[in-house]
């Protein structure tokens, strides 16, 4: 008797509470109804349907691990499981939710004033306002400490000038969290769409994460009152702490993309007949499936372990790096291997593995490249920083 879900191999669901399983199932059903039937079209058209935002708000996944201000306040593991199911649909969908909840909302929730929280968080949790998070610049990606965007005082106001690149939701966002150098170090600012001097541009011709909007933010002497500054953010540590939140979601999310690939390859292998036998009956196919299922199940165990550490409040940034590095690397390799099991059919959007593999190329790069996470782990092991 074959397994119906490749994560049954190690009874991963047995590690979850009833509530966690229920949240996972709810998101899984949403993805089955509202995403799977349409995602190939969105990917081909290079679009993210904005009208999905209020539906995601109703589902309760926007800022779901935050407390108050209309957010659900779930455990980290429950949030992770939601990311797993969303990314089983498409990495672009999980990206939307990560950026909204873990970067844009988290930066306001953690570092914002009470007025900023009241103004933005309830609307963002409901999906009525979309946020983005501008850290990366054209010349500074892995090395944000050297960013060029500047905020200078002009009387009681600030003037922001610079360019942010590769910003998820950038050209559809109502509010941008923008990080800039000041005389006193790096600070965060909330820049609403429509502020004079603030323009955005959508990045086209992407081969990856096509069901997601990626943009550029251009700030030309954008005048902002001091009340637009995030008062609690006082150094590079502030944006980097937001990254921990989004990287955590990716640990689960990449596992979801991998599960969807293995499930797709398993179903295909059991029905596709060559040489008078289902290709699942050949030893070479079984070796691929067995190796992938072992990697998939251990990735899920790692994600849940890290989720339990996060819920206990003890997780360290380098442990998040272990999860992001391992699970994205494994998911990408699984997606490519699953594509081979599908033969020629694997190169179309009718099947998910190559779409996932293309998406995972971005996931490997954003939120810290695999090289940067390797160096974070190297520093934790040796005590030496090898970035510069």
Which residues are the active-site residues? 367
Near ligand TGC by CB under 6 A, which window of 215-223, 234-242, 286-294, 348-356? Answer: 234-242
Burial class (CB in 10 A: 0-12, 13-18, 19+), 83: buried
Query: What's the closest the beta carbon of residue 209 comes to ligand FAD, in angstroms?
Result: 4
Contact of residue 134 among ligand FAD, ligand TGC, none (CB under 5-8 Å per partner type): ligand FAD
Contact of residue 236 among ligand TGC, ligand FAD, none (CB under 5-8 Å per partner type): ligand TGC
Contact of residue 243 among ligand FAD, ligand TGC, none (CB under 5-8 Å per partner type): ligand TGC
* Cβ-based neighbour number of residue 102 at 10 Å: 28
List the interface residues with ligand TGC, window 287-326 (CB under 6 A).
Answer: 317
Rounded to whole angstroms, the Cα distance separating 154 from 156 reads 6
Contact of residue 371 among ligand TGC, ligand FAD, none (CB under 5-8 Å per partner type): ligand FAD
Rounded to whole angstroms, the Cα distance separating 181 from 187 reads 6
Rounded to whole angstroms, the Cα distance separating 71 from 48 reads 23
Nearest residue to 365 via CA among 142, 106, 90: 142
CA 377 to chain centroid, in Å, comes to 20
Please select the residue that binds ligand TGC; options are 145, 152, 218, 281, rule is CB under 6 A. 145
Residue numbers of the site for ligand FAD (CB under 6 A)? 99, 133-136, 141-142, 166-168, 209, 214, 362, 365-366, 369, 371-372, 375, 387
Please select the residue that binds ligand TGC; options are 7, 243, 262, 293, rule is CB under 6 A. 243
DSSP 240-269: HHHHHHHHHHHHHHHHHHHHHHHHHHHHHH
Residue 118 contacts ligand TGC per CB under 6 A: no
What are the helix (H) ranges across the chain? Answer: 18-34, 39-45, 52-59, 76-89, 91-97, 106-111, 114-125, 237-271, 283-312, 317-341, 353-365, 370-382
Query: Between 167 and 190, whose beta carbon lies closer to ligand FAD?
Result: 167
What are the helix (H) ranges across 66-113? Answer: 76-89, 91-97, 106-111
Handedness of CA 110, 111, 117, 122 (dihedral sign): negative
Query: What's the closest the beta carbon of residue 218 comes to ligand FAD, in angstroms?
Result: 14
Contact of residue 360 among ligand TGC, ligand FAD, none (CB under 5-8 Å per partner type): none
Which residues sit at the interface with ligand TGC, rule CB under 6 A?
Answer: 95, 98-99, 133, 135-136, 142, 144-145, 168, 235-237, 240-241, 243-244, 246, 317, 366-368, 372, 376, 387
């Amino acid at each position: 008797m074959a397994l119906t879900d490749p994560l049954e191999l190690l009874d991963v669901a047995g590690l979850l509470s009833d509530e966690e399983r229920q949240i996972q199932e709810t998101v899984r059903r949403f993805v089955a109804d509202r995403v799977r039937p349409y995602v190939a079209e969105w990917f081909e058209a290079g679009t993210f349907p904005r009208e999905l935002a209020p539906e995601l708000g109703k589902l309760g996944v926007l800022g779901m691990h935050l407390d108050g201000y209309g957010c659900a306040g779930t455990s980290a593991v429950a949030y992770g499981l939601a990311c797993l199911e969303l990314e089983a649909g498409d990495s672009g969908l999980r990206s939307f939710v990560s950026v909204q909840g873990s970067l844009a909302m988290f930066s306001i929730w953690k570092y914002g004033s009470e007025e900023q929280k009241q103004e933005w968080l309830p609307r963002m949790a409901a999906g009525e306002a979309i946020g983005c998070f501008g850290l990366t610049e054209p010349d500074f990606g892995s090395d944000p400490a050297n960013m060029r965007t500047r905020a200078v005082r002009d009387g009681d106001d600030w003037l922001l000038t610079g360019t942010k690149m590769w910003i998820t939701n950038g050209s559809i966002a109502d509010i941008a969290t923008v990080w800039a150098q000041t005389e006193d170090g790096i600070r965060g600012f909330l820049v609403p769409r429509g502020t004079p001097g603030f323009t955005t541009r959508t990045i086209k011709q992407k081969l990856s994460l096509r069901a997601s909007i990626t943009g550029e933010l251009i700030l030309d002497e954008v005048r902002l009152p001091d009340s637009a500054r995030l008062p609690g953010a006082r150094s590079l540590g502030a944006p980097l702490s937001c990254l921990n939140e989004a990287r955590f979601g990716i640990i689960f999310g990449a596992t979801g993309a991998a599960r969807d690939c293995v499930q797709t390859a398993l179903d295909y292998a059991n029905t596709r007949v060559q040489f008078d036998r289902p290709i699942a009956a050949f030893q070479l196919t079984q070796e691929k499936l067995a190796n992938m299922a072992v990697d998939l199940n251990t990735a899920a165990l790692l994600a849940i372990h890290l989720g339990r550490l996060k819920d206990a409040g003890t997780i360290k940034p380098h442990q998040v790096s272990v999860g992001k590095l391992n699970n994205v690397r494994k998911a990408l390799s699984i997606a490519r291997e699953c594509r081979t099991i599908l033969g020629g059919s694997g190169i179309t959007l009718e099947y998910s593995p190559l779409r996932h593999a293309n998406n995972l190329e971005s996931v490997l790069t954003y939120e810290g490249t695999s090289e940067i996470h390797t160096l974070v782990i190297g520093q934790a092991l040796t005590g030496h920083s090898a970035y510069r």
